[in-house]
Structure 1
Amino acid sequence: MSIPLITDWSAGDVAIDQLLALATRSLLVFDRDLSRLAFERPQRMAELVRLLRSGTQARAELIVQDAGPLQRTQPRLLALLSRESQRLSIIEAPAHLTGVAESLLIVDGRHALLRFHRDQPRARLLLDAPQDCARWLQRFAEIRGEGGTPLGATTLGL
């Protein structure tokens, strides 16, 4: 089986939309700040909402290296976090993970978009490949195991 290599941002955008449409149980994301994933786009937000409401076991877990841009520019995602906090979690990774360069988007443990370096469009798209995804699920679990700070939907202040 051939695994498609993505070499430009527009093909990566198509792959993201394709994967979100396939999601039925889980979405796992590790990314610098989610800006390239553009969850604020209406179609992507609708797919995320559809996933979270698709069943009692549906879940999305997003781990970011820098929560600042997300908190400033993604109000729809934060509002969804407020409404669906039992099924959606967003965690800011600890500082020692800022050097991790890859970006992962894993759907249902069967499909994935694996960007080799967060600043480059080169990526692999895995479709219906649970054995290939197993390695990346393990990588995501390692990143999650490092801890981090869960984000809330509101900013506390004085």
Structure 2
Amino acid sequence: MERQVFPFSSRQAFQQQLRLCLSRAERRLRLFDPDFALWDLGTGEVEAILRPFLLGGGGIALLAHSDALLERQCPRLLRLLTQFGHRFECRVSSKNLRHLTDSFCIADDLHLVRRFHSDHLRGEAVFDSEADTRLCAERFAGMWLEAEPGLHPSTAGL
């Protein structure tokens, strides 16, 4: 496949590219955002993408500065976490990383949706390019090692 790049600057375009990236994942998803407020992870549409992915053996690593919004507003996501806890892990970043303000989703080290700053919608989706995902993947790996356990079924009251 040839590298494809799609800039975006609206919530609708971000949602469209994010869902496309999620749906292209076959093995692994890594997601980072300070709070996931604009991701709509609690919707039925996202659940319909993630459930077959998890059933097929895929794994999700989700990292946030705060998981409070996910716990309050994403019951479908929490249900997936309960059902697929062995393939789905959420962590909260360490305090020394709270200054990080970008936001990204990496699928299979091949597809990337990235907002340059979590307070803004400007960003880009890049598909079929391992080179474009490499920096975010390396950053995610470092942040993940320093992160603390976040949401899990017992903290969500499930």
Residue 2 of structure 1, CA deviation = 6.2
> What is the aligned partner in structure 2 of residue 90 from structure 1?
90
SS at match of 1:20: helix
Query: How far apart, CA to CA, are the structure 1 residues paired with 2:73 and 2:92?
Result: 16
Gaps of 5+ in 2: none
CA distance 1:2–1:42, change in 2 (3 Å): closer
Normalised by the size of structure 1, how large is the TM-score?
Answer: 0.91
Q: Tell me the SS of whatever aligns to 1:112.
A: strand
Aligned counterpart in structure 1 of residue 32 of structure 2, from 30, 33, 46: 30
Aligned to 1:66: 66
CA contact (8 A) 1:94 1:149 kept: no
**Please, what is the CA RMSD of the aligned residues?**
1.7
Identity of aligned residues (%): 26
1:104: Cα distance to partner?
Answer: 1.2
Q: When the two structures are superposed, what TM-score results if normalisation uses the length of structure 2? A: 0.91
Matches within 5 A, 1:1-158: 3-55=5-57, 58-155=58-155
State the 1:119 CA deviation. 0.9
Deviates more, 1:2-11 or 1:127-136: 2-11
- How many residue pairs get aligned? The number is 155
CA distance in 2, matches of 1:147, 1:41: 26
List alignment gaps of at least 5 residues for structure 1. Answer: none
* Counterpart AA for 1:69: L
Q: Deviations over 1:74-98 (max 9, x none)?
A: 1111121111000000111122222
Contact conserved, 2:43 with 2:76, CA < 8 A, in 1? no
Q: CA deviation at 1:156?
A: 8.0
Go from structure 1 to structure 2 and tell me whether the alpha carbon gap of 1:126 and 1:96 turns closer, same or farther (over 3 Å shift). Answer: same
Inter-partner Cα distance in structure 1 for 2:155 and 2:46: 24
